[in-house]
Chains A and B, each alone.
Chain A
Amino acid sequence: GNSVTQMEGPVTLSEEAFLTINCTYTATGYPSLFWYVQYPGEGLQLLLKATKADDKGSNKGFEATYRKETTSFHLEKGSVQVSDSAVYFCALRGAVMDSSYKLIFGSGTRLLVRP
């Protein structure tokens, strides 16, 4: 079945450092890929998405590129801020033939950015 694997945390960085959080997936067909973020005390929010191979999703300085050949969707940011401290979840939605459109999530990666 479909699954998502992401790097374990916590990831601790200094402000303005470069961030990479790895995410790989297993799925049949061409799933859609998402990054969600969960700030302390808040619900999950969509950060960015990509719906087909080679698409790049971007938002708030974060980027991720849908790589079909490596089944990856790594999250990157060039310069993190303290306010980026949160838990980041990689997720996939199955291909069109999977009519439920449910999201399958990775286990999450906690990011802590120090001033």
Chain B
Amino acid sequence: DTGVSQNPRHKITKRGQNVTFRCDPISEHNRLYWYRQTLGQGPEFLTYFQNEAQLEKSRLLSDRFSAERPKGSFSTLEIQRTEQGDSAMYLCASSLIGQGDTGELFFGEGSRLTVL
């Protein structure tokens, strides 16, 4: 399967610990997005990359959150000093901008974070 892959699928951590999520996008896609989804809500945009450049960050992304996409391939989202309010599903999506752009974002199955 060559879809968007996210790991780990579920992470349980104690408040104050750091966590890191990884996203492997569809290989030829140049855009990568991170979203957060809480129960009963739609996905909320956090940040996106074009190739290795992080071009936009939402105000939802506090200083405790950092995302990287070295070499323009996989991406990591790190949350430092986790708080209970960080408990959510973290979604990664990728897309192709330019020739072949259909407007569609392709989503992974998400990484669920539970902060105790």
A108 to B107, CA, bound (A): 16
Query: Interface of B with A (CB < 8 Å)?
Result: 4, 31, 33, 40-45, 48, 55-56, 91, 93, 95, 97, 103-105, 107-110
A102 to B60, CA, bound (A): 15
Closest to A101 in B: B97
The 7 A-B residue pairs with the shortest CB-CB distance in the complex, in nearest-first order: A105-B42, A44-B107, A43-B109, A43-B107, A107-B42, A105-B43, A46-B104
A32, A43, A105, A107: the one contacting B40 at CB < 8 Å is: A107
**Digit string of A31-56 for contact with B (CB within 8 Å is 1, else 0)?**
01010100000111110010100000
Interface size on A, residues (CB 8 A): 23
Closest to A93 in B: B103
Known: A107-B40, A108-B40, A108-B42. A101 touches B107 (CB 8 A): no
Taking the closest CB of chain A, its distance from the CB of B91, in whole angstroms, is 7
A45, A93, A104: the one contacting B107 at CB < 8 Å is: A45
**Digit string of A83-115 for contact with B (CB within 8 Å is 1, else 0)?**
000000101010000001111111110000000
Please indicate the chain B residues that have their CB under 8 angstroms from the CB of A103 in the complex.
Answer: 33, 43, 45, 93, 105
Closest to A46 in B: B104
Q: Give me 17 A-to-B residue pairs in the complex whose CB atoms sit less than 8 angstroms apart, sorted by A's number.
A: A43-B91, A43-B108, A44-B91, A44-B107, A46-B105, A49-B103, A51-B103, A100-B48, A101-B95, A102-B33, A102-B45, A103-B33, A103-B43, A105-B42, A105-B43, A107-B40, A107-B42
